Structure formats: structure tokens, C-alpha cells
Amino acid sequence: MNRDEVLNTLKAHKPTLGERFGITGLALFGSFARDQANDKSDVDILVWFDTPATSRSYFGVQFYIEDLLGWPVDLVTDKALRPEIRPYVERDAINA
């Protein structure tokens, strides 16, 4: 799987993620966004929820996307993104 395949899959399922889990935005970052992923990489996704994320919605999104992609997913909410790493994430981020 490469960057474009991940982004196309996320874009195709974004409406469902919005309806089921209250997702308002998704962005790919990290090695997949830089097109440098290898077989040990996970898929890093920044996510925005319309309301504060619950464990049910957070893990629901994570497991849903892992099932779609067949890769481990590291999900980070916009609210939980630490200020010291935000610039690095935003530099790589590609909106889905």
C-alpha cells in the first residue's frame, strides 16, 4: 500500500466515518504521507471529531480504518496533538 492508496481509501470512507463516528476531518502524516513507508510502518492519521472523542468513537475509528487498510493505524486527535510535535505533523499532513 502506498500514499495514494491510503488517501483514496480514506476519502472514499470519510462520509461513513462522519456518520458513524462524528469525524469531520482526516489527514495522513508520517512515513505514508512522505511516501517512505515500509513493511514495519504504521499509518499515522490525524483526526477531527465534531464532539469530544469518547473511547468508543476513538477506537471505533481506529479499528474501522485498520480493517479497511490492513495496516496498523496510529490515530491522533487534533485536540490531543502536543504543541511540540504539531509543527512536524502539520508539515507532513495531507488532508483526506
Angle between helices 3-21 and 55-69 (to 10 degrees): 140
pLDDT attached to residue 65:
98
pLDDT attached to residue 90:
94
Interval 5-49: pLDDT, tens: 999 999 999 999 999 999 999 999 999 999 999 999 999 999 999
Mean pLDDT over residues 49-58, rounded? Answer: 94
Interval 62-82: pLDDT, tens: 999 999 999 999 999 999 999
Q: How many helices (H) and strands (E) does the chain have?
A: 3, 4
